Amino acid sequence: MRRLHLIYCIALVLTACTIDNDVLVDAYSHIDDSKWSSSDRKTFALDTVEKTGDYRLTVRLRTTSEVEFQKIYVVVEQQLHNPMLRSRDTVVVQLTNEQGVMLEKGVDLYNYVVPLDKAIRLHKGQSGEVALSHVMRRTQLKGITDVGVKIEYEDSGH
């Protein structure tokens, strides 16, 4: 029992040491029934920024092979406070090639990661939210299981 407790403590310390302080947001939001509706905005909270700098925002999608499009247009809306900043970008997530072959490797799920074209400048003390939605003609996108956002400090060499 004592040995198990020691192993648990070591694992806990190693986990704490590997936390990346340069990552502000690293989260996914699940899509019910793998059908992403155009009215279903997924919002991610941005806690208080600890250091001013340039940050890289990436959009992430998880899909199944049931996805019916070669690419998906995702709107990224940022609403930040202290100082106030509102921006809206569109990211194109290329899912398949022209023959319909998935561009990412996977068995049941495929992961896609697409960064914004430019870094975002965040200031110490700033907070807010990032929201994702799609702007496709079809209101329900079949085969999308999760959408996510990652925001990390760009000057850290990641």
CA terminus-to-terminus distance, the chain: 40
Helix, coil or strand: residue 137: coil
The answer on pLDDT for 8 being more than 50 is: no
Q: pLDDT tens digits for 21-65?
A: 799 999 999 999 999 999 999 999 999 999 999 999 999 999 998
Of 129, 121, 130, nearest to 58 by C-alpha is 130
**Is the model more confident about 100 or about 13?**
100
Q: What is the pLDDT of residue 10?
A: 46
Q: In 58-86, which positions are buried (b, 16+ CB within 10 angstroms) versus exposed (e)? A: bbbbbbeeebebeebebbbebebeeeeee
What CATH topology corresponds to 21-156? Jelly Rolls (2.60.120)
Q: pLDDT tens digits for 78-98?
A: 999 998 999 999 999 999 998
